[in-house]
Amino acid sequence: MGNHQVVAFYIAISCIAFVISKIIISVLLYKRWKRKHLVYEDGFSGGKMVMFKSTAMQSLKSNVFLKKTLKLSNKDIIGSGGYGTVYKLMIDESTAFAVKRLNRGTAERDRGFERELEAMGDIKHRNIVTLHGYYTAPHYNLLIYELMPNGSLDAFLHGKGMNKKLLDWPSRYKIALGAARGISYLHHDCIPHIIHRDIKSSNILLDQNMEARVSDFGLATLMEPDKTHVSTFVAGTFGYLAPEYFDTGRATAKGDVYSFGVVLLELLTGKKPTDEEFIEEGTKLVTWVKTVVEHEREEHVVDRNLEDCPLEEINSAFNIATMCLESEPSKRPSMAEVVKLLEQLKTKKVVL
Ligand SMILES: Nc1ncnc2c1ncn2[C@@H]1O[C@H](COP(=O)(O)OP(=O)(O)OP(=O)(O)O)[C@@H](O)[C@H]1O
């Protein structure tokens, strides 16, 4: 064999080895995926259900689950948002799930579904709602979550009639700290890091122990490790959006910090950032509170139901909110720092 033939032989061997190794890796990855997921094809509607294996799902019979999911109707609705309707799926006396239906049709809706799967697929954290699986059919998609029996923080604080319930300061503090821990996990511990982009009180759900769980990842954006921002179309909810995001469309972790600051103000004042009273006056909850805090008159904005609570703690919480709401993003603390500040507030190590 001449020199050229030897080189060609080695190149051919390397190529074949490369292709075989790729095939083996793909098969192993697929096997791993199959081990973690249960897939049910529904021949009737042309849909496919994928459930993530977990202890909660272990005892469920696939056909019962699929049948009940497909039978959901208006009487099962427990909430609705701009992107979809949420249903309560009762499997038996002791097992229930929340199912969010997203109608297909626009690219943006399909993207929201994909984003939610990309961001939530592998997340397990006590302050983030667990996604148990999904169903995809030609005209709609379903996301299957853990059911949060106490609904959303928004309904607790601003619900009408029976839905509005009184929350004392220890409960509000626990919710603030839990939500901060959930967002901090997304920002600092997930690889790639995740920016939520729609932190607000209706996306903070409450479990049976009134522990906060961050939900709704329909706008979430994964961050490449070397990036500090992602340019997107401006989305989210008026009243919670950071000013720089509104102006430039650059989504950063500091934008979530700002939105968290608004939620903290909501917990302290009991006021809704999207209240007509603010919109009519052409102002915002943030501007109103900042002016009052500057004059050290926090007691004028504190929710009446918190009037008998430790003033020192309330004032420190106001100061943490003010830090999160700095107009200059670099002056805002990171979510990890916010968690520390909130923890120190209770142990009284911090005087802000
Ligand atoms: N896992 C869940 N358990 C219990 N209730 C839920 C769950 N997920 C959502 N909900 C209820 O459904 C409501 C609507 O949720 P959804 O995420 O669709 O909309 P939103 O966050 O209120 O608004 P938007 O999607 O427009 O930002 C929530 O406010 C909550 O009351």
pLDDT the model gives residue 333: 96
- The more confident residue out of 244 and 183 is 183
The one-character DSSP state at 130 is: P
What atom in ligand 1 is closest to the CA of residue 84?
A: 18
User: Is residue 129 located within the same domain as residue 254?
Assistant: no
Find residue 103's DSSP bridge partners.
Answer: 140
pLDDT the model gives residue 351: 44
DSSP letters of 72-101? --GGGEEEE-SS-EEEEEEEETTEEEEEEE
Provide the domain limits for residue 89.
37-146
198 belongs to the catalytic site: yes
Tell me which residue has tokens 């608004």.
262
Of 164, 253, 256, which Cα lies nearest the Cα of 203? 256
Of 263, 252, 239, 227, which Cα lies nearest the Cα of 328? 252
Q: What are phi and psi of 230, to 5 degrees?
A: -130, 130
The CATH number linked to 104 is 3.30.200.20
Given ligand 1 and candidates 103, 128, 199, 216, which is best to mutate, with the most ligand atoms within 8 Å of its CB?
216
Identify the domain boundary among 127, 146, 165: 146
Q: How much of the chain exceeds pLDDT 70, in percent?
A: 75
Average pLDDT over every residue of 38-55: 67
12 domain residue, yes or no: no
User: Is residue 56 located within the same domain as residue 107?
Assistant: yes
Average pLDDT over every residue of 219-229: 60
The pLDDT of residue 229 is above 60: no
Confidence of residue 66 (pLDDT cuts 50, 70, 90): confident
pLDDT the model gives residue 235: 62
50 domain residue, yes or no: yes
The CATH number linked to 251 is 1.10.510.10
* Ligand 1 centroid to residue 69 C-alpha, Å: 18
340 domain residue, yes or no: yes
31 domain residue, yes or no: no
pLDDT the model gives residue 39: 61
Helix (H, G, I), strand (E, B) or coil at 41: strand
* Given the residues 154, 198, 216, 256, the one annotated as active site: 198
Identify the domain boundary among 119, 146, 173: 146
Helix (H, G, I), strand (E, B) or coil at 117: helix
Average pLDDT over every residue of 205-229: 77
Average pLDDT over every residue of 210-225: 77
What atom in ligand 1 is closest to the CA of residue 146?
A: 1
Q: How far apart are CA 198 and CA 204, in angstroms?
A: 10
User: Is residue 133 located within the same domain as residue 231?
Assistant: no
User: Is residue 197 located within the same domain as residue 305?
Assistant: yes
User: Is residue 242 located within the same domain as residue 335?
Assistant: yes
Residues lining ligand 1, Cβ inside 6 A: 78-84, 86, 98, 100, 129, 145-148, 151-152, 155, 198, 202-203, 205, 215-216
User: Is residue 207 located within the same domain as residue 120?
Assistant: no
* Ligand 1 centroid to residue 79 C-alpha, Å: 6
- Residue 133 tokens read as 């699986």
The pLDDT of residue 83 is above 60: yes
88 domain residue, yes or no: yes
User: Is residue 41 located within the same domain as residue 99?
Assistant: yes
Given ligand 1 and candidates 85, 86, 97, which is best to mutate, with the most ligand atoms within 8 Å of its CB?
86
* Ligand 1 centroid to residue 31 C-alpha, Å: 34
- The more confident residue out of 287 and 334 is 334
Is 160 known as a binding-site position? no
The pLDDT of residue 281 is above 50: yes
18 domain residue, yes or no: no
1 domain residue, yes or no: no
User: Is residue 159 located within the same domain as residue 127?
Assistant: no
Q: Specify the number of domains making up the chain.
A: 2
User: Is residue 202 located within the same domain as residue 283?
Assistant: yes
The pLDDT of residue 153 is above 80: yes
The pLDDT of residue 64 is above 80: no
Mind spelling out the 3-state secondary structure of 230-263? EECCCCCCCCCCCHHHHHHCEECHHHHHHHHHHH
Tell me which residue has tokens 């901060």.
180
* Ligand 1 centroid to residue 8 C-alpha, Å: 61
The one-character DSSP state at 333 is: P
pLDDT the model gives residue 258: 94
Average pLDDT over every residue of 166-174: 90
SS3 content of the chain, % helix, strand, coil (to 5): 50, 20, 35
- The more confident residue out of 251 and 88 is 88
- The more confident residue out of 172 and 27 is 172
Average pLDDT over every residue of 266-271: 90
240 domain residue, yes or no: yes
Average pLDDT over every residue of 103-109: 68
Average pLDDT over every residue of 93-121: 75
Identify the domain boundary among 118, 146, 174: 146
221-223 vs 193-195, strand pairing mode: antiparallel
User: Is residue 138 located within the same domain as residue 165?
Assistant: no
Find residue 194's DSSP bridge partners.
Answer: 222
Mind spelling out the 3-state secondary structure of 180-193? HHHHHHHHHHCCCE
Q: How would you class 343 by CB atoms within 10 Å of its CB: exposed for 0-12, middle for 13-18, buried for 19 or more?
A: middle
**CB neighbours (10 Å) of residue 292?**
17
Q: Whole-model pTM?
A: 0.81
User: Is residue 190 located within the same domain as residue 314?
Assistant: yes
Q: What is the pLDDT of residues 1-15, one digit of tens each?
A: 677 888 888 888 888
Q: Helix axis angle, 253-269 relative to 169-184, nearest 10°? A: 170
Average pLDDT over every residue of 29-45: 62
The pLDDT of residue 352 is above 50: no
User: Is residue 183 located within the same domain as residue 83?
Assistant: no
Q: How far apart are CA 57 and CA 52, in angstroms?
A: 8
